[in-house]
Amino acid sequence: MNQTIQFIKMHGVGNDYIFVDTSRYPIENPEALSIAWSRYHMGIGSDGLVLIGRSTTPDADFTMRIFNADGSEGLMCGNASRCIGKYVYERGMTDRRDIRLRTASGIKMLHLTVSDSGTVESVSVDMLAPILEDKRLFQPDGEPLPQGVFVSMGNPHYVIFVDDIDAVDVAREGAALEHHPRFPQRSNIEFAQVRDDAIRMRVWERGSGITMACGTGACATAVAAAITGRCTRHTRVIMDGGTLDIDWREDDGHVYLSGPAVIVFEGTAKLPSAPADILPR
C-alpha cells in the first residue's frame, strides 16, 4: 500500500513550493517526487518541493533541501526559506524568532516578525554577501552573451537591464540563456527595468522556468542595479507575484531579503509505489 504523507503548500510573493517535514515523513526519492507533485493538473502544482529537517549539528536549528520542478536540486531559495521560518514557528517546532537554517549554500539567518496573536507576519533573511566572480558558475570568456551582470547569491544569476520589461519574451530568451555554455551549472536569468522608486523584475528560474517571483533573484537584481549605479543599496523589487524589500548593507556587506510568507493549503498525498508511477514533466 502506498504511504500517505502530509504536506503544506506555501508561497512567498507567488513563488510556491510544497513543503514536507522529513522528521515525520522521510522522503526517499525527492527528485522524482518533485517532478510528479509539481505538475499542474496532474499533481499538486508548484515551483518545486522543499524538505524541512531538524539539524543534527549545533550550528543550525533546521535544514532545507530544495528540488526544482524538473527534479534538479537547488542550492538556495530566499522565498522558500522565509516560508520555512513561518512553518516551524507557527507549528510549534521552535519558539525562537531568530532561526539558523542550513542550506546547500551555507547557513542562513532568519528573523521573524511575529504579531501578538503568534502569527508570523514577515520574515527577513540574511542572504550573506553577494559573489561577483565564480568560475564554477560563470565563465568570464566564451560565446557572446547579452550585456548583463553576473551575481551569485549562493546560486547563479545573470541580470539583464532592459528599457521595456513587458516587451521581453522571458520564456524564449530565458530558456536559451539558462543553458548558455558560459554557465557551467546553468543559471537563473533576470530581466529588470529600473523605475523611479523600485525595480521591476521578471525571472526565468533554472529548473523551473518562469516563476512569479525569486528571492535570490531579487537580491541579485538589487545588487546588480546598485553596482551599476542604477539605484541605491536599499530598494524594492517588484515581481509578478509581489514585492520584496532588499537591503545590501554597507556595514557587513550582506544582503537582507524581507517579505511575507503565506500558507496556501494543507493536504495529504500518496507516495508513488514505484518510479514507473511517476510521469515525466
Does 77 participate in catalysis according to the annotation? Answer: yes
The total number of residues shown for the chain amounts to: 281
What is the three-class DSSP state of 127? Answer: coil
The secondary structure element, H or E, covering residue 224 is helix 215-227
What value does the CA radius of gyration of the chain take, rounded to a whole number of Å? 18
Residue 156, all three cell numbers: 547563479
Does 231 participate in catalysis according to the annotation? Answer: no
Question: Strands 4-12 and 15-21, how do they pair?
Answer: antiparallel
Catalytic residue of the set 77, 83, 219, 231: 77
The secondary structure element, H or E, covering residue 225 is helix 215-227
Distances (CA, A) of 100 to 83, 93, 127, 144, 183: 14, 13, 12, 40, 30
Active site residues: 77, 214
